[in-house]
Each structure stands twice: as C-alpha cells, then as structure tokens.
Amino acid sequence: MGMKGGKAGLAYHLRAIHDRLYGVYGDCTCPLEHADAFQLLVAVMLSAQCRDDRVNQVTKVLFAAAPDAPAMARMPVERIEEIVQPCGLHKAKSRNIQAAAQMICGTFGSVPRTMEELTRLPGIGRKSANVILGNVFGIPGFPVDTHVRRLLNRLGAVSTQDPEKIEAVVNGLVPCELWTNFSHLLITHGRRVCHAGRPRCGECVLSDLCSKKGVR
C-alpha cells in the first residue's frame, strides 16, 4: 500500500501534499456549526450523506429546541424525526441521536473524550469520533471521509479504500499535530477542485504530485 520509496518516501509525499494544500487553504475550521461537543456530535451524525450547509440549517432548529444532551434525551423521537427529516435517513439518525444523548446522560455524564468510548455511542464510528476529538477537544485525529479516501488514492499515497487502513498510514507518517487540519485540507480540496466525477486537474496545486490524474 502506498507509493514507492518506502516509509520515508511516503512520509515526504504526504508532507508535500499537506504543505501544498496548507499554502492554499491554511488553518481550516469545522464547517459544521456547533457550540460544544454534544452539538458537534449531533451535527456529525446528521452529516452522513448530507451537505454541511443543510445540516447547519437543520441544527439551528434542532438546537433551539434541545441544545444539550439532557434536553435531547427527553425529546420525543418523533419530534426529532420531524426536525431532521431534510437531512435524509431521518428515522435512523433520530433514533441514534436520542439513544446517544441518553447514553451520554446515563453512562458517561458528558461527551466522552476517547475513541473507545465515543465509538460506543450509537451512530458514531471512527471518522465521526476523530472529528469530535480533533475539533472540540484538541486531541489529534485524522477523519477519513469519501474526499480524503479519494484524494489519497488518486495521489498514490495509499492503495486501499479501507478508512481505518488509510488513517493508520497517515497517523504513522504525519506528525500528530497536523492530523485534524490535514483532513480538513483534503476535504476542502476535494470539494473545490478534486471532484469525484470531473477533477479540475489543470487548476490543481497537487498536479505534479498526482500519480493517477482524472476519474478513478
């Protein structure tokens, strides 16, 4: 998995990707609007197969009605469904949101700060947990979403679609203080330039680093 040149070559390649993107986008912030860890957790759950701007519209209404875990735990699941319906998969997401809120109140007391505990919550996998850890608690994490997976494969940094394997490669070769923003940088570039269907290779600052240009 990865490019030729061994670990040192791959580490150099990844750092070059990071540095080029950082030169364009700089320090990024999480596009999901939130006031605290619980609100980000809910927003991340709603963001599955849904655009961030739509999630932000929905969470304004949802958090006005239930701004914290105790309030969300008490809210009837039918009311949650009604509010989050525009995000899609609203029945499953609503059940997970309510169940996670109840578990936070009953088991943890607050939103947990470890990967192991976060992934015990309904609807929270490694990617979502890394978003919460990195963006709220300042604990380094490298979320791997569809953009990250697509870009790192196109750039020849990895040759796997397995998010956990991609996360392990980056975590093993990139300094931990860069992980959270590196994910943001890749996601931003994936949305703006390196699209899934028609990547704008002629405008890409990574074009000379890319081993597999075009659709893949």
Just list the catalytic residues: 127, 145
Contacts of 130-133 with C-beta under 8 Å, sequence gap 24+, read: 130/167, 130/179, 130/180, 130/183, 131/30, 131/32, 131/40, 131/44, 132/37, 132/40, 132/41, 132/44
Q: Are 170 and 182 a contacting pair, CB within 8 Å?
A: yes
Alpha helix segments (H runs only) across 26-162: 37-46, 52-65, 69-74, 77-84, 90-103, 115-118, 126-135, 146-154
